[in-house]
Every structure is written in C-alpha cells, then in structure tokens.
A and B are shown apart, each in its own frame.
Chain A
Amino acid sequence: MLSEQELIKGCSKEDRASQKALYERYCRKMMAICLRYARSTQEAEDILQEGFIKIFNSIKSFRAESKLETWITRIMINTSLNSLRQKLYVLPMVDVNDIQIPEADGVNLSDFNLSELISIVQSLPDGCRIVFNLFAIEGYGHKEIAEMLSISEGTSKSQYNRAKHLLRSKLMQEEGRYERFK
C-alpha cells in the first residue's frame, strides 16, 4: 500500500496507477459528502468525478499544510457548491419566516440507516440543504456561509432554521411510517 507521500508524488507525475490508488482510497468518503450536497446519486457521481479531476490537476500545488484528506474534502465541497451555484443563481436564497421548531422532537437518528438519512437530506430544497450541510456537518459559522454563498447572514440563519424544521418533520413522518409497519 502506497503511503500518502508516495501517492502525492505519483499523482504529481500524472502516474495513472497512483491516481487510481488515490481515488480508491478516498472515493467512498467523498461520495458520502457529494450525496449530502447533491439531489441524486447521479448528480453526486458527477460532482465526485469533477472533484477528482480538480484534485489531480492541482495536486502539484498541495503543500502538506493540512492533511491530504482535509484538502480533498475542501475541494469536493467547493466543487459541490459550484455545481449548485447556478441553481442558486436562478432561485436565490431568501429569508424565510421564523419557524417554530418543536423543542423536544423525540426523534432518534439512530433509528435510521445512512441511506435513509441521505435521502432525507437530499429531499431538502437546494438552499436549505447547502446551509444545513455547511453549518451542521462541516461546522462553518453563518458569517462564513454568508460569504461563501454571497448571501446575508440572516438568510443563512433562516435557511438553516427552515432546514431543521423540514428535517424534523420528515424524520417524524418517516418514523411514523416505520411505526405503522412495526
């Protein structure tokens, strides 16, 4: 098994075997990320492919200031955002009214498997989905998200609240369905 340094060196020389090894090492994790941002598996695979192209093209500039996985993840998130940016341009994110979120939802995520949760996230509207991913999963603040997406901080917050509301509703809905089949 090639070390990280060997992989970087091989990919820098455009060695196909090294490129494939790098892809195989990170493609599953990256696919999970892409699925969260995309609306469908096909769209996620397109983003994954485009992201790896960018990675192979710019790996010479990787300076090892961060972990390789972190660097790849950042590229994949940026590629996802870019692919959705056009949709956001057509349907810009706007502030949504404050939604009353139930305080005790009683929904346990462990009742769901990964693909079910991914499907629930994918069902969110584009704006909500992006802000939810960036805030809840990637850990960015609303100010950073606002800068990244060229929206106001308030829009980011309201989109996130809406995402949470929709997610809880969907989870409860799914759980209710599940309970009925029990």
Chain B
Amino acid sequence: MKDLSRQKFEENWKSVFDGAEVDPSGSVWSNLELDLVSMESNSMKKKVVFYKWLAAASVFLMVFFAGAFYYVMQMDDKQSATITNSANEGSSESGSVPKETDQHTSSISGNETSSNGSVENTKNGEEGNQSEKTDVTIITKKDETNNFITENRESAGIDNSLLLKSQQISFLNSIKEVPAEVHGKIELPRLVLPAMPAVFMNNSKKNSQTEDLWASVGFSAGNYNPGNVSGTTAFRSSSQTSGAYLNSVGYSEPSDVGSAYSAGFAMSKRVFSRWVLQTGVNYINQSIGYTSNYVSYSATNQSKVFVAEYADFANSSVTITTPYQINSAIEVISLPMQTGYLLIDRKFGWQLNTGVAADFFVRNTLTDESGRAQQYSQGSGEESPYRAVSWAGLLGTEVSYKLAKQYRVSIVPGMRYSLNSVLKSTSGQASNPLVVDVGFRFRYIFN
C-alpha cells in the first residue's frame, strides 16, 4: 500500500511536468545569438592566428635552414681555400718536419721537385729537420682533456696529392692512436672522432666549383597583367562617318589578365664563390584581349582596329562602332642584367636571381578577332604611345639539376614588373605590366 502510494506520488508529478512548456523571455535568444556571433569571430580569430603562426614558422624554418646551409658552405669554402692556397704556394725546397709536435704527431713532408713524399711519425720530444719556412701539415694531437684534435698549419713545399695522403694518414693515425682507456669513458663519442679532413668534404663540391661560366637557352610562359592605371579610356567621337554612333562615348577596356611568353639566351659568370652575374637577350610577347568600340579609317577608307592608347596619336579619322574583341600583342626585346646567389651549388642547384632589364619596344599589333577590321601594327617612334625603352625589375629563382658534366636543366619561376610606365605620359595613361611566369632553361657549362 505504501509502495503504491509512492508510485502514485511520482506518477502524479511526472504527469504534471510531461510535455510542460514555459515561454522563456525574448532576451534568451538575443543573448544566445550574441554568444554564437562571438564564438564564430573567436573561431575566425583562432584560424587567422593559426595561419599567422604557420606562416611565421615557415619563414623561420626557411631562414634557419638557409642560414645553416650558408654557414656549412662557408666553412667548406674556407677549408678548401686554405688547402688550395697552401698547395699552390709550394716551392722546390724540401719539406720539413713540423716544429710543434705534442705527445703524438703524425705528419708528412713532401718534396715537390721529385714528387716523392715520406711519412714520418714523430713522438713527443722528437724533432726533425727544421726549416725557416712553415709547413702545412695536418697534426693530430692531444689537448689537455685527452681529446684528439686536428690542426691545419701553414706550409710551403707540399704537394696537393701528398697533402691528401697526409690527411688520410693522419686521420687514420688519429683513430689508431686513441688510447684504449678512453673507450671506457662515458665521453667516448666526443673523444674518438677527429675532425674530417677538408679534402674529403670538398670532393663532393669539386664538380660544381668548376661551373664558372655557362650559357643557357630557355623559354617561359605565364600571366600578363597590363597594370593600367586607367582601365577604361573613353572619349567622344569626333567623326561624322557613323551617324548611328555619333556622339556616343568610345571606350577600350583591357581584360584583367593576358598571357606572356618569352624565349632567350643568357650568359652567366660566377664572380664569387656563390655570386653569379648573368645577362642575355630575350624576346618577349605580351598579349591581352580588349573590348573596344573604336575603329580608325585609313586613307583608303578601310577600317582598322583601334584602342584608346592611340587616341592622341591617331592621324586617321576615328569613329565609334559596335563593341568588338581585339587581341593586343606587344613585342619587346629585353636585355636583362641579373645577379644570382647560389643557395645550393651541387648536382641539385638552387639560385635566387634579381636584377633589372632594359626593354626595347618593338611593336604593338592589334588584331580584330572577328576579322572585320584590318590589323593595326605600330612600332616605336613619335607616333607610338609606347616608350622606346622602359625598365623592368626582375625577381626569380632557378632550380636546376646537373644532367652531365657540362649540362644542366632548370625550372625558372619568376616575375617582372615595369619600373616605369611603358606608355608615354602624353598618352594620358600609365601602364606598369606585371608578368608572373615559369620558364625552362637548358644550360651548357664551359670548363
């Protein structure tokens, strides 16, 4: 009876609240909506912050690796230069035993005239023939902490091949001469690794070092943006030949993006260990579509395509017609002068290039895509709205791969931006074209 009563109690309450509904105040949704908006903006902020950090981390990593790579390469170059210089400074005099030998020294003295070398191992206290000239020897010795260290000493009278042998021998000796008790110590890895002779390290670079002068041919293609300051040019027709469009406003409007291709030849010369100067000659063709409602009439009363750039230079009568599509192709001969920095100078190469180019305007050809109006072509000169010479800034990179001893192929992404307007100021317009392209080059290396 008691349980039944309790069950009834719960059932009563449950039935009261089952499906019960109470209206919340209107402020609940308003506050809820504010929370949702705030959360969305926070989420966006987090995304933005994430991408900012990602970008920063990428830049940091790139700089770090470039720096580390540069440092390693510089060290290689220094060691290489020391060895090469000392070898070249050799005289016909006999080599001598180094003055300084501590506890364990192994060295080699070479006689350049006879090309013979003799290996000598000197112990502490031993001294050989002393010469006034200093020697280059790779000396492996113990320092105070029982570590074996390798030193380069200046030398005269030593053959490069002997030096290589001496380094190999001293390298091997240094390994042999590690005292047995050292191996038992905890610092084992630190003790038993003598410095790698520079000659070994330079072997891998030897091929690329010979690339001092090279010629390349290539082509590239990409996007062309005319960069018109005044995208649309309009003027009122002065012609009386077309009654229908008389007093209409004429215009010619280029598309946002066109296409560009170039082909050329370049010569490059290494001026420092990693710096390269390059120049050459390129033919560049930049084309873009126009929508125009101008036509010009020649003396023979034939209609020719026309765009606003020529408005102030037109001798023939110009009139307005129905809008039609034009392809405008600008041809330029460009003489670039670039400096390059070799970030990676091995079988796989990576070079950064920057410089300027003098662009010599050749001609601008306007073609009516429908074929109704005659093609119009204008070279440089007083009647041309284009400057005869303009300047462009160049920025790019070149990723290359050495195919054989004298050949490399490379992919060259880059951009060129006209530093001054390619149009004359009298044209009433300004145009600083931007070209972003990717090129392919084939390089021949002169030895």
Those of A22-41 within 8 Å (CB) of chain B: 23-24, 27-29, 31-32, 35-36, 41
Report B1-33 residues with CB < 8 Å from chain A CB: 1-2, 5-6, 9-10, 12-14, 16-17, 19-25, 27-29, 31-33
Identity of the chain B residue whose Cβ is nearest the Cβ of A53 in the assembled complex: B35
How many Å from the CB of A111 to the closest CB on chain B?
11
Q: B369 contacts the other chain (Cβ, under 8 Å)?
A: no
* B interface residue count range (under 10 / 10 to 19 / 20 to 34 / 35 or more): 20 to 34
Q: Is the pair A31, B14 in contact by a Cβ cutoff of 8 Å?
A: no
Q: A148 in the interface, Cβ–Cβ < 8 Å?
A: no
A89 CA to B7 CA, complexed, in Å:
31
Answer yes or no: A147 CB below 8 A from chain B CBs.
no
Tell me, yes or no, whether B403 is within 8 Å of chain A by CB: no
The yes or no answer to B36 lying at the interface (CB within 8 A) is yes
Residue-wise interface mask of A (117-139) relative to B, using a CB-CB cutoff of 8 A (1 in contact, 0 not): 11000000000000010011101
A-B interface pairs (CB < 8 A), number: 76
Binding site of A, secondary structure by majority: helix, strand, loop or mixed? helix
Cβ–Cβ contact B29 & A23, under 8 A: yes
Partner of B14, one of A41, A114, A115, A136: A136
* Interface positions of A from 87 to 113, Cβ below 8 Å from B: 103-104, 109
Cross-chain contact A28 with B5 (CB below 8 angstroms) = no
A53 to B28, CA, bound (A): 11
Q: Closest B residue to A161 by CB, please name it.
A: B6
Taking a contact as CB atoms under 8 Å apart, the answer to whether A29 and B19 are in contact is yes
- Give the contacts of A127-159 with B (CB-CB under 8 A): 132, 135-137, 139
Q: Is the CB of A49 within 8 A of B21?
A: no
In contact, B36 and A27 (Cβ under 8 angstroms): no
Q: Is the CB of B25 within 8 A of A45?
A: yes
In the assembled complex, the CB of A39 is this many whole angstroms from the nearest CB of chain B, namely: 15
Chain B: which residue is nearest A114 at the CB level?
B20
Given the interface pairs A16-B33, A23-B32, A103-B1, the reply to whether A32 lies near B12 with Cβ below 8 Å is no
Contacts of B19 in A (CB 8 A): 29
Q: Is the interface of B mostly helix, strand, loop or mixed?
A: helix
Residue among B2, B9, B36 making CB contact with A164, cutoff 8 Å? B9
Measured CA separation A131–B185 after assembly (Å): 69
Q: Are B23 and A31 in contact (CB under 8 A)?
A: yes
> In the complex, are the beta carbons of A104 and B5 less than 8 A apart?
yes
Asked whether any CB of chain A lies closer than 8 Å to the CB of B40, the reply is yes
CB pair A136 B13 closer than 8 Å: yes
> How far apart sit A109 and B10, CA to CA, in the bound complex (Å)?
11
Is A71's CB within 8 Å of the partner chain B? no
Residues of A close to B32: CB separation below 8 A: 23, 49, 52-53
16 contacts between A and B (CB under 8 A): A14-B36, A20-B33, A23-B29, A31-B22, A31-B23, A31-B24, A32-B17, A45-B24, A45-B25, A49-B32, A52-B32, A53-B35, A117-B16, A132-B13, A137-B13, A167-B13
Known contacts A35-B22, A114-B20, then 5 further A-B pairs from the complex at CB < 8 Å, ordered by chain A residue? A20-B33, A29-B21, A49-B32, A136-B10, A164-B9
Seen from chain A, the residues whose Cβ lies within 8 Å of a Cβ on chain B are 14, 16, 19-20, 23-24, 27-29, 31-32, 35-36, 41, 44-45, 48-49, 52-53, 56-57, 103-104, 109, 114-115, 117-118, 132, 135-137, 139, 164, 167
